[in-house]
Structure 1
């Protein structure tokens, strides 16, 4: 046995063994994993290898060969076979003989480097591959040959299917799993710092593997790893945003396209950002419950209640299906309200009657709601069955499945509530001082003003979601969109 360099074997060394040249691609104890030029591997005992008569260390070699052999082992079988298939043909094109040619084999005349130019050999190889059923041109063969000469077999691998570098690099998988668990636990909890996550990761590793069984990374390394794994989760940011992101659906989803008024409607309730005068003059909050039509953005009905109950949701359906002038006692109540509303009216009495008569009455076909007790109650379900309305609840904690009513209620808070006395703002950070001392309105007064605002302002306000496909930049009001859909054929889609 001869050796070009004494000492133990190392990864990447090129050795001669049993009349073939191999590359050392793995060392496990006293066993050595070898790979030949074709990527075929074998596991040999190191004593048996070094005691072979023809064994020799030919040199350290280049790491490209090592990387190529390791890459082929990680690739899917068909991808690795395809790379080896290209290597065989390219070696034949360059040398005249395939790599597995037996000793003494004769060079094919078409690939003889002494008698044919490189371009001629490329055209001959392309013609041969076409006869084998491959749609390959001479230009493709030339490109593959240039890639192979520059980077070896790794250069002709379809890298779209090759494994990519891991996000966490060479980090201990046990540490990565513990960090992921700590991040998952932070979703429903209050916001804490990264140091707490580091402390929690240590406790998880101790509970899973025992004390000091897994080495924790350094503080700087942990911070970098935590930043990669927690990207987009808002672990140290807003708890509300963190929970909202975790509630998003995993797969893609879409909004339904509606083509007619009433085809799809959404219902929801939310606390109103206004203090009202309750019984005995006590200030308090109320809730707004509204029903909106997706095709026209018409607020079919809206009621103000101390708390939304199932009877209020059923009442909302009754109000939506009954025109305002046809409600019992409506005209008399409207006339009396002129003496009790503490504000300058938006409309005169005649204008209010005109707008109320023009407000469309839309019969729902399908109603989408969340899983609030008022909407999933038997009372509301029974009302939907009586009116032959399809009842469609959303998935739990999925406000994205009814975005239109969510945005409408938010618009009411900004376009309507801020003009009322006792306005609180959307959060405590936006709340002023002495709001309770302002001359608050009663719940009935706010309901009356809201009804008038809906017919006077909301129904006559252009909406960005109601665009005219024939006129760029033009938007419809809910009343105009309703009139356009009623005149249009039933099969015309809504923009």
Structure 2
């Protein structure tokens, strides 16, 4: 019979001055290449001799020093993680982490992009492509209000489409369950009824379902990083026209956008790694012949992510959603959205039917007496004559004014 006995771990008996010096040596390698444990031990012994004198600090044996470095690894990582992650961990603030105070939905919205650890195929060229995901995450409800999957790096028009989807969600597909669809947004403040339309008998038409795929939120402030795609004139001009503030996060501070970074990890662990074509977070985690397995097209991959967000993520308790009055209650993002409506009141979204025009790129053009020219109209050959023709009718009053100016000249 085997008897299982527990062994109590005994910490190494090392001088506290040697431990403090070893911790300082490990911290000095935060921005440098990774050394070996033997090199750290030798430098620590040399620093102790230079600082305290020969024989003042007892030097531990090799095995004891290795155990001491294992304990110090918890306070100052150096040997386990990648050097890039070690630099990020070294920049962590010494004070406790805080939370961005929010009182209602739409007060702060995070925008961020991440590469997806899965291959997709272009339906036109039939080539394997790397895709990236851009999402808009509400800070108060943790709801994913908009997303887009792009091939390669996103463009400014992709960021503008994400902002537009925040205010005008896409219609939900018919095959989604009822709980995953959101009601159509936009309740008018006043309703005018035409009595003639009520009295006249008209044939009934089948009412089309207008369920939305997500909540409609008008962002007050969007939090972005310093990527050029977010700070481009295309997006900043659209935000200025709609009264949306833009707050860039601090440089090399991923903790400023902690909720959206945590969503990316949840997406990878709960969905992406279970899909066909999953390639792992790095080349060292990639399987053999991933390209020969099943795959998804780019549009199919985006639809799968949208369905998972609507059916799973929005209706699963979120650890980051806490109500001070109910500390033990577990809220889902969908429940927190309705709670925010009851708490913050009416959320007004733009009612302009041509709202999409506000998110288009603004290009300056001059209007001449003959109309306006299109971009790149000055080409050679027969296209020059076609491009020089008026592209829009000129009012008769303008033509008469131009003719009078020519006669006077």
For residues 269 and 474 of structure 1, the distance between their equivalents in structure 2, rounded to whole angstroms, comes to: 31
Q: Is contact 2:143-2:334 (8 Å) kept?
A: yes
Give CA deviations for 1:160-214 in whole Å, capped at 9, x if unaligned: xxxxxx9527x9x9xx5xx777534421334321222356679999xxx9xxxx9
- Alignment partner of 2:136: what SS? strand
Which residue of 2 is the match for residue 324 of structure 1? 170
For residues 241 and 262 of structure 1, the distance between their equivalents in structure 2, rounded to whole angstroms, comes to: 32
Asked if residue 168 in structure 1 is aligned to residue 8 in structure 2, the reply is: no
Larger Rg: 1
For residues 372 and 395 of structure 1, the distance between their equivalents in structure 2, rounded to whole angstroms, comes to: 12
Counterparts of residues 99-248 of structure 1 (less than 5 Å): 168=17, 182-197=25-40, 220=60, 223=65, 227=69, 232-239=75-82, 240-248=84-92
Give CA deviations for 1:416-461 in whole Å, capped at 9, x if unaligned: 3234221223445554333211221111221223223333333333
Counterparts of residues 55-454 of structure 1 (less than 5 Å): 168=17, 182-197=25-40, 220=60, 223=65, 227=69, 232-239=75-82, 240-278=84-122, 280-306=125-151, 307-325=153-171, 347=177, 356-357=211-212, 359-428=214-283, 430-454=285-309
For residues 322 and 414 of structure 1, the distance between their equivalents in structure 2, rounded to whole angstroms, comes to: 29
Gaps of 5+ in 1: 1-165, 326-330, 336-344, 491-495
Give the TM-score normalised by structure 1: 0.51
Q: CA RMSD in A?
A: 4.0
Q: Which has the higher helix share?
A: 1
Give CA deviations for 1:213-256 in whole Å, capped at 9, x if unaligned: x9798863894998598761122332354223212124445212
Q: Is contact 1:359-1:459 (8 Å) kept?
A: no
Q: Is contact 1:272-1:287 (8 Å) kept?
A: yes
Give CA deviations for 1:22-62 in whole Å, capped at 9, x if unaligned: xxxxxxxxxxxxxxxxxxxxxxxxxxxxxxxxxxxxxxxxx
Q: Is contact 1:367-1:390 (8 Å) kept?
A: yes
Q: Is contact 2:111-2:135 (8 Å) kept?
A: yes
For residues 237 and 274 of structure 2, the distance between their equivalents in structure 1, rounded to whole angstroms, comes to: 37
- Alignment partner of 1:273: what SS? strand
Give the TM-score normalised by structure 2: 0.60
Which residue of 2 is the match for residue 458 of structure 1? 313
Q: Is contact 2:104-2:140 (8 Å) kept?
A: yes
Seen in structure 2, the aligned counterparts of structure 1 residues 304 and 358 have a Cα distance that, compared at 3 Å, is: closer
Aligned length: 298
For residues 484 and 321 of structure 1, the distance between their equivalents in structure 2, rounded to whole angstroms, comes to: 19
Seen in structure 2, the aligned counterparts of structure 1 residues 434 and 193 have a Cα distance that, compared at 3 Å, is: same
Seen in structure 2, the aligned counterparts of structure 1 residues 218 and 460 have a Cα distance that, compared at 3 Å, is: closer
Which deviates the most, 303-312 or 458-467? 458-467
Q: Is contact 2:112-2:135 (8 Å) kept?
A: yes
Seen in structure 2, the aligned counterparts of structure 1 residues 184 and 488 have a Cα distance that, compared at 3 Å, is: closer
Asked if residue 484 in structure 1 is aligned to residue 333 in structure 2, the reply is: no
Seen in structure 2, the aligned counterparts of structure 1 residues 168 and 373 have a Cα distance that, compared at 3 Å, is: farther
Gaps of 5+ in 2: 1-14, 183-207, 346-409
